[in-house]
Amino acid sequence: MRKNIVAGNWKMNKTLQEGIALAKELNEVLANEKPNCDVVICTPFIHLASVTPLVDPAKIGVGAENCADKESGAFTGEVSAAMVASTGAKYVILGHSERRAYYHETIETLAVKVRLALDNGLTPIFCVGEVLEDREAGKQNEVVHEQLAGSLFDLTAEDFSKIVIAYEPVWAIGTGKTATAAQAQEMHAFIRRAIADKYGKEVADNTSILYGGSCKASNAKELFANPDVDGGLIGGASLKAADFKGIIDAFN
Protein backbone atom coordinates (compact mmCIF):
# COMPACT_ATOMS: atom_id res chain seq x y z
CA MET A 1 0.00 0.00 0.00
CA ARG A 2 1.04 3.57 -0.51
CA LYS A 3 3.13 5.43 2.03
CA ASN A 4 2.18 8.49 4.01
CA ILE A 5 4.86 11.14 3.58
CA VAL A 6 5.51 14.53 5.12
CA ALA A 7 8.14 16.34 3.06
CA GLY A 8 9.65 19.73 3.78
CA ASN A 9 10.58 22.13 1.02
CA TRP A 10 13.02 24.65 2.45
CA LYS A 11 13.06 26.67 -0.81
CA MET A 12 15.76 29.39 -0.82
CA ASN A 13 15.96 29.66 2.95
CA LYS A 14 18.68 28.95 5.51
CA THR A 15 22.42 29.46 5.26
CA LEU A 16 24.48 26.28 5.47
CA GLN A 17 24.94 26.74 9.23
CA GLU A 18 21.24 27.38 9.79
CA GLY A 19 20.31 24.40 7.65
CA ILE A 20 22.65 22.10 9.57
CA ALA A 21 21.17 23.35 12.85
CA LEU A 22 17.60 22.71 11.63
CA ALA A 23 18.42 19.22 10.35
CA LYS A 24 20.12 18.36 13.65
CA GLU A 25 17.19 19.68 15.64
CA LEU A 26 14.68 17.72 13.59
CA ASN A 27 16.78 14.60 13.95
CA GLU A 28 16.81 15.06 17.74
CA VAL A 29 13.09 15.77 17.89
CA LEU A 30 12.40 12.51 16.04
CA ALA A 31 15.08 10.45 17.83
CA ASN A 32 12.74 8.86 20.35
CA GLU A 33 9.67 8.88 18.13
CA LYS A 34 8.27 6.46 15.65
CA PRO A 35 6.57 8.67 13.08
CA ASN A 36 3.59 7.13 11.32
CA CYS A 37 4.82 8.53 8.02
CA ASP A 38 8.00 8.87 6.03
CA VAL A 39 9.72 12.18 6.71
CA VAL A 40 11.70 13.97 4.01
CA ILE A 41 13.53 17.29 3.98
CA CYS A 42 14.30 18.90 0.64
CA THR A 43 17.06 21.46 0.96
CA PRO A 44 19.07 23.80 -1.23
CA PHE A 45 21.78 21.97 -3.18
CA ILE A 46 24.63 23.28 -1.08
CA HIS A 47 23.16 21.77 2.11
CA LEU A 48 22.74 18.24 0.82
CA ALA A 49 26.21 16.80 1.43
CA SER A 50 26.34 18.25 4.95
CA VAL A 51 22.80 17.42 6.02
CA THR A 52 22.57 13.86 4.69
CA PRO A 53 25.08 12.31 7.13
CA LEU A 54 23.57 14.22 10.06
CA VAL A 55 20.14 12.61 9.99
CA ASP A 56 19.05 9.07 10.77
CA PRO A 57 18.34 7.64 7.32
CA ALA A 58 15.77 5.27 8.83
CA LYS A 59 13.69 8.29 9.86
CA ILE A 60 14.55 11.21 7.60
CA GLY A 61 15.12 11.13 3.87
CA VAL A 62 16.92 14.03 2.23
CA GLY A 63 16.12 15.52 -1.15
CA ALA A 64 16.99 18.35 -3.52
CA GLU A 65 14.53 20.96 -4.75
CA ASN A 66 15.45 20.64 -8.41
CA CYS A 67 17.99 19.09 -10.76
CA ALA A 68 19.30 19.85 -14.23
CA ASP A 69 17.70 18.64 -17.44
CA LYS A 70 21.13 17.60 -18.74
CA GLU A 71 23.34 14.73 -17.73
CA SER A 72 26.63 16.65 -17.43
CA GLY A 73 28.85 19.09 -19.26
CA ALA A 74 29.07 22.77 -20.03
CA PHE A 75 25.95 24.02 -18.24
CA THR A 76 27.32 26.65 -15.88
CA GLY A 77 25.47 26.87 -12.60
CA GLU A 78 23.45 23.69 -13.02
CA VAL A 79 23.44 20.65 -10.71
CA SER A 80 22.83 17.23 -12.19
CA ALA A 81 20.72 14.39 -10.84
CA ALA A 82 23.91 12.30 -10.53
CA MET A 83 25.48 15.04 -8.38
CA VAL A 84 22.40 15.14 -6.14
CA ALA A 85 22.47 11.35 -5.75
CA SER A 86 26.20 11.44 -4.97
CA THR A 87 25.47 13.42 -1.78
CA GLY A 88 23.35 10.58 -0.43
CA ALA A 89 20.10 12.40 -1.17
CA LYS A 90 17.24 10.13 -2.18
CA TYR A 91 14.56 12.54 -3.40
CA VAL A 92 14.20 15.48 -5.74
CA ILE A 93 11.30 17.90 -6.05
CA LEU A 94 10.51 18.47 -9.73
CA GLY A 95 7.98 20.74 -11.38
CA HIS A 96 7.38 23.00 -8.41
CA SER A 97 5.15 25.88 -9.51
CA GLU A 98 7.87 28.39 -8.60
CA ARG A 99 10.23 26.65 -11.03
CA ARG A 100 7.52 26.52 -13.70
CA ALA A 101 6.60 30.20 -13.25
CA TYR A 102 9.94 31.92 -12.52
CA TYR A 103 12.36 29.67 -14.41
CA HIS A 104 10.10 28.76 -17.30
CA GLU A 105 10.28 25.01 -16.81
CA THR A 106 8.07 23.32 -19.33
CA ILE A 107 6.22 20.05 -19.40
CA GLU A 108 8.84 18.74 -21.86
CA THR A 109 11.84 19.84 -19.78
CA LEU A 110 10.27 18.25 -16.73
CA ALA A 111 9.85 14.94 -18.52
CA VAL A 112 13.62 14.96 -19.14
CA LYS A 113 14.36 15.85 -15.50
CA VAL A 114 12.12 13.03 -14.28
CA ARG A 115 13.95 10.58 -16.55
CA LEU A 116 17.36 11.71 -15.28
CA ALA A 117 16.22 11.58 -11.65
CA LEU A 118 14.96 8.01 -12.06
CA ASP A 119 18.10 6.97 -13.95
CA ASN A 120 20.11 8.14 -10.95
CA GLY A 121 17.99 6.34 -8.39
CA LEU A 122 16.25 9.44 -7.05
CA THR A 123 12.56 9.51 -6.14
CA PRO A 124 10.94 12.48 -7.87
CA ILE A 125 8.36 14.40 -5.85
CA PHE A 126 6.52 15.72 -8.87
CA CYS A 127 4.41 18.83 -8.31
CA VAL A 128 1.26 19.72 -10.18
CA GLY A 129 -1.28 22.44 -9.55
CA GLU A 130 -3.40 25.14 -11.12
CA VAL A 131 -3.22 28.91 -10.77
CA LEU A 132 -6.20 30.84 -9.40
CA GLU A 133 -7.31 31.90 -12.87
CA ASP A 134 -7.58 28.25 -13.94
CA ARG A 135 -9.61 27.35 -10.87
CA GLU A 136 -11.94 30.30 -11.33
CA ALA A 137 -12.48 29.19 -14.93
CA GLY A 138 -13.16 25.63 -13.74
CA LYS A 139 -10.11 24.39 -15.65
CA GLN A 140 -8.15 22.91 -12.73
CA ASN A 141 -8.64 19.28 -13.72
CA GLU A 142 -7.65 19.92 -17.31
CA VAL A 143 -4.49 21.80 -16.27
CA VAL A 144 -3.40 19.18 -13.75
CA HIS A 145 -4.08 16.36 -16.19
CA GLU A 146 -1.93 18.06 -18.82
CA GLN A 147 0.93 18.47 -16.32
CA LEU A 148 0.73 14.82 -15.31
CA ALA A 149 0.28 13.34 -18.76
CA GLY A 150 2.81 15.63 -20.45
CA SER A 151 5.69 14.91 -18.09
CA LEU A 152 4.94 11.48 -16.62
CA PHE A 153 2.63 9.37 -18.73
CA ASP A 154 5.34 8.26 -21.15
CA LEU A 155 6.97 6.38 -18.26
CA THR A 156 6.54 2.63 -17.95
CA ALA A 157 4.30 1.49 -15.09
CA GLU A 158 7.41 0.29 -13.27
CA ASP A 159 9.03 3.72 -13.46
CA PHE A 160 5.80 5.56 -12.69
CA SER A 161 5.42 3.58 -9.50
CA LYS A 162 8.63 5.24 -8.21
CA ILE A 163 7.08 8.72 -8.40
CA VAL A 164 5.49 10.69 -5.57
CA ILE A 165 2.94 13.28 -6.67
CA ALA A 166 2.36 16.57 -4.87
CA TYR A 167 -0.79 18.53 -5.64
CA GLU A 168 -0.09 22.17 -4.88
CA PRO A 169 -2.73 24.67 -5.95
CA VAL A 170 -0.60 27.71 -6.79
CA TRP A 171 -3.12 30.06 -5.14
CA ALA A 172 -2.51 28.28 -1.82
CA ILE A 173 1.31 28.37 -1.78
CA GLY A 174 2.73 30.76 0.78
CA THR A 175 -0.53 32.71 0.83
CA GLY A 176 -2.01 31.35 4.02
CA LYS A 177 -4.97 30.31 1.86
CA THR A 178 -5.29 26.53 2.12
CA ALA A 179 -7.45 24.44 -0.15
CA THR A 180 -10.34 23.09 1.86
CA ALA A 181 -10.14 19.43 2.78
CA ALA A 182 -12.93 18.84 0.25
CA GLN A 183 -11.10 20.66 -2.55
CA ALA A 184 -7.93 18.71 -1.83
CA GLN A 185 -9.75 15.37 -1.72
CA GLU A 186 -11.60 16.14 -4.96
CA MET A 187 -8.39 16.87 -6.86
CA HIS A 188 -6.45 14.01 -5.28
CA ALA A 189 -9.21 11.59 -6.28
CA PHE A 190 -9.13 13.04 -9.80
CA ILE A 191 -5.35 12.54 -9.98
CA ARG A 192 -5.67 8.98 -8.72
CA ARG A 193 -8.35 8.25 -11.33
CA ALA A 194 -6.12 9.67 -14.07
CA ILE A 195 -3.28 7.40 -12.91
CA ALA A 196 -5.65 4.43 -12.80
CA ASP A 197 -6.86 5.17 -16.35
CA LYS A 198 -3.28 5.16 -17.56
CA TYR A 199 -1.57 2.52 -15.39
CA GLY A 200 -4.37 0.57 -13.73
CA LYS A 201 -5.88 0.57 -10.27
CA GLU A 202 -3.01 -1.15 -8.48
CA VAL A 203 -0.43 1.44 -9.55
CA ALA A 204 -2.88 4.25 -8.71
CA ASP A 205 -3.64 2.82 -5.28
CA ASN A 206 0.07 2.56 -4.54
CA THR A 207 0.92 6.15 -5.55
CA SER A 208 1.43 8.62 -2.71
CA ILE A 209 -0.28 11.93 -3.48
CA LEU A 210 0.75 14.77 -1.17
CA TYR A 211 -1.04 18.06 -0.64
CA GLY A 212 0.94 21.30 -0.55
CA GLY A 213 0.00 24.93 -0.01
CA SER A 214 -0.12 26.61 3.41
CA CYS A 215 -0.29 23.25 5.14
CA LYS A 216 0.45 23.61 8.84
CA ALA A 217 -0.03 21.76 12.13
CA SER A 218 -3.46 23.31 12.62
CA ASN A 219 -4.93 22.07 9.31
CA ALA A 220 -2.80 19.00 8.53
CA LYS A 221 -4.98 16.53 10.40
CA GLU A 222 -8.10 17.52 8.53
CA LEU A 223 -6.32 17.46 5.17
CA PHE A 224 -4.58 14.12 5.80
CA ALA A 225 -7.82 12.52 6.98
CA ASN A 226 -9.03 12.44 3.38
CA PRO A 227 -8.78 9.02 1.78
CA ASP A 228 -6.72 10.25 -1.18
CA VAL A 229 -4.42 12.67 0.68
CA ASP A 230 -1.29 10.77 1.65
CA GLY A 231 0.64 13.54 3.36
CA GLY A 232 2.01 16.97 2.61
CA LEU A 233 4.70 18.99 0.90
CA ILE A 234 5.42 21.74 3.37
CA GLY A 235 7.12 25.06 2.65
CA GLY A 236 6.94 27.73 5.36
CA ALA A 237 6.03 25.34 8.17
CA SER A 238 9.07 23.14 7.47
CA LEU A 239 11.50 25.87 8.50
CA LYS A 240 11.07 25.30 12.23
CA ALA A 241 11.49 21.82 13.71
CA ALA A 242 8.54 22.24 16.10
CA ASP A 243 6.15 23.36 13.33
CA PHE A 244 7.24 20.54 11.06
CA LYS A 245 6.93 18.01 13.87
CA GLY A 246 3.39 19.25 14.47
CA ILE A 247 2.53 18.26 10.89
CA ILE A 248 4.26 14.87 11.20
CA ASP A 249 2.16 14.29 14.33
CA ALA A 250 -1.01 14.73 12.31
CA PHE A 251 -0.51 11.08 11.36
CA ASN A 252 -0.58 9.91 14.99
Residues classed as catalytic: 96, 168
> What does the DSSP assignment read for 65-133?
S---SSSSSS-TT---HHHHHHTT--EEEES-HHHHHHS---HHHHHHHHHHHHHTT-EEEEEE---HH
Residue 33, classed as helix, strand or coil, is: coil
Least distance in angstroms from the C-beta of 214 to ligand PGA: 4
Least distance in angstroms from the C-beta of 134 to ligand PGA: 17
Q: Determine the size of the site formed for ligand PGA (CB under 6 A).
A: 13
Q: What track of x and - describes contact with ligand PGA for positions 168 through 207 (by CB under 6 A)?
A: x----xx---------------------------------
Q: Helices 217-224 and 241-248 meet at what angle, rounded to 10?
A: 20
CA pair distance 233, 192, nearest whole angstrom: 17
Give whichever of 199 and 223 is closer to ligand PGA, judged by the CB atom: 223
Q: What track of x and - describes contact with ligand PGA for positions 39 through 78 (by CB under 6 A)?
A: ----------------------------------------
215 binds ligand PGA, rule: CB under 6 A:
yes
Least distance in angstroms from the C-beta of 96 to ligand PGA: 6
* Four-CA torsion 173, 59, 124, 70, nearest 10 degrees: 110
Least distance in angstroms from the C-beta of 61 to ligand PGA: 16
Give whichever of 57 and 174 is closer to ligand PGA, judged by the CB atom: 174
Count the residues in the chain. 252
Q: What track of x and - describes contact with ligand PGA for positions 97 through 136 (by CB under 6 A)?
A: ----------------------------------------
Nearest to 141 by CA among 183, 175, 106: 183
CA pair distance 237, 246, nearest whole angstrom: 9
Nearest to 93 by CA among 19, 18, 5: 5
Q: How many other CB atoms are found less than 10 A from the CB of residue 248?
A: 26
* 7-36: contacts with ligand PGA (CB under 6 A): 9
236 binds ligand PGA, rule: CB under 6 A:
yes
234 binds ligand PGA, rule: CB under 6 A:
yes
CA pair distance 193, 111, nearest whole angstrom: 21
231 binds ligand PGA, rule: CB under 6 A:
no
User: Which residues contact ligand PGA by CB under 6 A?
Assistant: 9, 168, 173-174, 212-215, 233-237
